[in-house]
């Protein structure tokens, strides 16, 4: 006879989807505030002090720590296969490691072979990810060949499947590389669709010839960054830096460091400074891991070494160490380059990338006083090598919250396989297609731009406001207007410490009630209810 099923008390059931973060410093790209954060059903419902919350809510006292938006890694390659060699981390292992490091959303790639349908490749990638992934994700689509059919499929992916970014290659001849004419056709198509054009560039000529902003992916060297920096003044280039190039200044001659573009020595300090100054805007990991055995198979011929390094787990701590701990940037800039800017570029802000009422509850509680030593022996990735081996970092996650669920605490990852969901990315992100002044304000971390919804991209057929009807969120949440979830009270309405519900009637229409103390009792004045 089987044992009876034990019913979980309702207050414990509630604690699974209700969470209150108390006494922390909330850091967004545009501000740092002392406030509590109440989460329910995976969404940030309330922000403020002395919130009234339902019974059974789990409370995290994070006094002395930062409350940051979960990291967004816009460049990963999980379950990636090339030339018969498959990367070590699949979507489960990779996103488990991401969560352990404070990243709560990743963006991976659809890689169709030459002649393969982009839409079919997208479905295959979704099937590989959906049942495994532990945090939310989106997909970029790679344009590896060109035809009228490819153009139609780009339109279908953008308008029907939530893909607003397409990556083209100026390398990998006879594999992924497009001819110049096809490359420009792909860029023109992106502009028509309101999509983000991404490019793996091996030279700077493309910047002068592309009319419009372009996202340069995979920066690893000082020289490449210096080529891009002047164009930032013209709002033409978005530069994405890889964590591996920020964390390591001396590159050893080892199969474990082989990646593409290759890592360059003596670049990290310069790249950090360009990020701090706003000339570069985004950091990713380009995580594509292989075991030492897989890497060593190409030892006699380096062209056969599978290119790729780790980084999805260590990206946040490495950037904090090199950026904030060193004094090069402040916590707000850290949030911008690890989360907020990526959310804005790919048009998922403020659903992601900020802590505001209505945003997804993807949050990392950051202990900037704690240290750890990075090692392959303790990381959560499937590879037995770590490019940051032995590096001591200040700043580590204390708690990581994914869609309202605590998935990392006390040094232990508690991922839920398949818990993550696909996040559609909408066309015409204002960071790309807004006015030049809007884009500059975005990069400076400002959260509200007057008149943005009336702006229209030059040559575009759709305004930003019409392109984003799907979203229920204000594009730029104003903390002062939304922090407590209530507007100004009517005369006579109870305060109830800014709660969103009332214990009795909504309006107190009597001058006095028998349950209200209005006189001065011994020990001090009291005018509130019996609590």
pTM flag (> 0.75): yes
Per-domain boundaries in the chain: 68-413, 491-531
- Helices 148-160 and 180-193, interaxial angle, to 10°? 30
User: Are 417 and 181 a contacting pair, CB within 8 Å?
Assistant: no
Residue 448 is predicted with a pLDDT of 32
Q: Euclidean distance between the first and final Cα of the chain, in Å?
A: 48
User: Are 338 and 283 a contacting pair, CB within 8 Å?
Assistant: yes
pLDDT tens digits for the chain (531 residues)?
Answer: 444 443 444 444 445 689 999 999 999 999 999 999 999 999 999 999 999 999 999 999 999 999 999 999 999 999 999 878 899 999 999 999 999 999 999 999 999 999 999 999 999 999 999 999 999 999 999 999 999 999 999 999 999 999 999 999 886 666 778 888 899 899 999 999 999 999 977 555 666 666 678 898 877 777 778 877 777 766 568 889 999 889 886 556 666 666 766 666 667 888 999 999 998 999 999 999 999 898 887 676 777 777 789 999 999 999 999 999 999 999 999 999 999 999 999 999 999 999 999 999 999 999 999 999 999 999 999 999 999 999 999 999 999 999 999 999 999 999 999 999 999 999 999 988 874 445 444 444 443 322 223 233 333 333 323 333 333 333 333 333 333 333 333 444 444 444 444 333 444 444 444 443 433 444 444 433 333
User: Are 305 and 298 a contacting pair, CB within 8 Å?
Assistant: yes
Residue 234 is predicted with a pLDDT of 64
The answer, yes or no, to whether the previous bond of 177 is cis (omega within 30 of 0) is: no
Residue 263 is predicted with a pLDDT of 64
Residue 461 is predicted with a pLDDT of 31
User: Are 73 and 91 a contacting pair, CB within 8 Å?
Assistant: no
User: HSE (CB half, 13 Å, CA atoms) of 69?
Assistant: 33
Q: Please give the angle made by the CA atoms of 258, 78 and 268, to the nearest 5 degrees.
A: 40
Residue 138: strand, helix, or coil: strand
The answer, yes or no, to whether the previous bond of 343 is cis (omega within 30 of 0) is: no
User: Are 267 and 245 a contacting pair, CB within 8 Å?
Assistant: yes
Please tell me the distance from the alpha carbon of residue 78 to that of residue 485, in angstroms, as a whole number: 39
Could you tell me the two tokens for 195? 């999509």
Residue 286 is predicted with a pLDDT of 93
Q: Which residues of 136-156 are buried (b: 16+ CB within 10 A; e: fewer)?
A: bbbbbbbbbbbeeebbebbee
Region class of 410: left (phi > 0), else alpha (psi between -120 and 50), else beta: left
DSSP output for 256-313: GG--SSPP-TT-HHHHHHHHHHTSS-EEE--B----HHHHHTTTT-GGGSPP-B--TT
DSSP output for 368-422: EEEEEE--TTT-SSS-S--TTTT-EEEEEEEEEEETTEEEEETTEE---TT---B
| Radius of gyration from C-alpha coordinates of the chain | 25
Q: Which CATH class is domain 68-413?
A: alpha beta
């Amino acid at each position: 006879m089987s044992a009876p099923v034990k019913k979980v008390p309702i207050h414990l059931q509630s604690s699974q989807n209700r969470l209150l973060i108390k006494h922390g410093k909330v850091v967004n790209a545009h501000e740092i505030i002392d406030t509590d954060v109440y989460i329910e059903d995976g969404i940030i419902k309330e922000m403020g002090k002395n919130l009234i919350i339902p019974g059974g809510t789990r409370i995290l006292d994070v006094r002395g720590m930062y409350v940051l938006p979960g990291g967004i890694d816009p460049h990963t390659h999980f379950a990636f296969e090339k030339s018969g060699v498959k990367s070590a981390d699949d979507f489960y292992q990779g996103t488990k490691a991401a969560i352990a490091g404070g990243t709560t959303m990743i963006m991976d790639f659809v890689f169709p072979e030459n002649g393969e349908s982009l839409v079919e490749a997208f479905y295959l990638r979704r099937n590989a990810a959906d049942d495994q992934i532990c945090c939310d994700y989106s997909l970029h689509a790679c344009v590896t060949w060109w035809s009228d059919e490819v153009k139609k499929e780009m339109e279908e992916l953008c308008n029907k499947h939530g893909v607003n970014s397409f990556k083209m290659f100026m390398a990998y001849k006879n594999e992924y590389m497009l001819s110049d004419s096809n490359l420009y056709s792909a860029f023109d198509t992106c502009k028509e669709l309101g999509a983000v054009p991404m490019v793996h560039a091996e030279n700077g000529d493309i910047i002068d010839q592309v009319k419009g902003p372009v996202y340069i992916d995979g920066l690893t060297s000082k020289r490449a960054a210096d080529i891009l920096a002047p164009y930032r003044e013209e709002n033409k280039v978005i530069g994405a830096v890889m964590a591996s190039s920020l964390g390591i200044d001396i590159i050893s001659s080892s199969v474990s460091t082989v990646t593409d573009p290759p890592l360059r020595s003596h670049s990290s300090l310069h790249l950090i400074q360009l990020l701090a100054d706003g000339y570069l805007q985004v950091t990713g990991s380009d995580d594509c891991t292989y075991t030492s055995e897989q890497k060593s198979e190409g030892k006699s011929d380096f062209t056969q070494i599978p290119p790729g390094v780790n980084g999805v787990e260590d990206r946040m701590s490495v950037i904090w160490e090199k950026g904030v701990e060193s004094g090069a940037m402040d916590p707000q800039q850290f949030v911008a380059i690890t989360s907020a800017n990526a959310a804005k570029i790919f048009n998922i802000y403020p659903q992601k990338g900020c802590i505001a009422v209505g945003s997804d509850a993807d949050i990392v509680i950051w202990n900037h006083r704690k240290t750890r030593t990075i090692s392959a022996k303790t990381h959560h990735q499937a590879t037995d090598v770590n490019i940051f081996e032995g590096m001591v970092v200040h700043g580590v996650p204390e708690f990581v919250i994914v869609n309202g669920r605590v998935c990392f605490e006390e040094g232990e990852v508690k991922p839920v396989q398949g818990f993550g969901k696909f996040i559609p990315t909408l066309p015409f992100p204002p960071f790309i297609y807004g006015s030049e002044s809007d884009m500059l304000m975005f990069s400076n971390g400002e959260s509200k731009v007057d008149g943005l919804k009336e702006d229209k991209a030059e040559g575009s057929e759709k305004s930003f406001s019409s392109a984003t009807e799907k979203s229920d969120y204000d594009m730029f949440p104003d903390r002062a207007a939304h922090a407590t979830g209530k507007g100004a009270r009517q005369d006579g309405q109870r305060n109830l410490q800014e709660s969103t519900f009332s214990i009795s009637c909504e309006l107190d229409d009597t001058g006095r009630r028998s349950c209200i103390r209005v006189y001065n009792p011994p020990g001090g004045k009291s005018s509130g209810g019996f609590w």
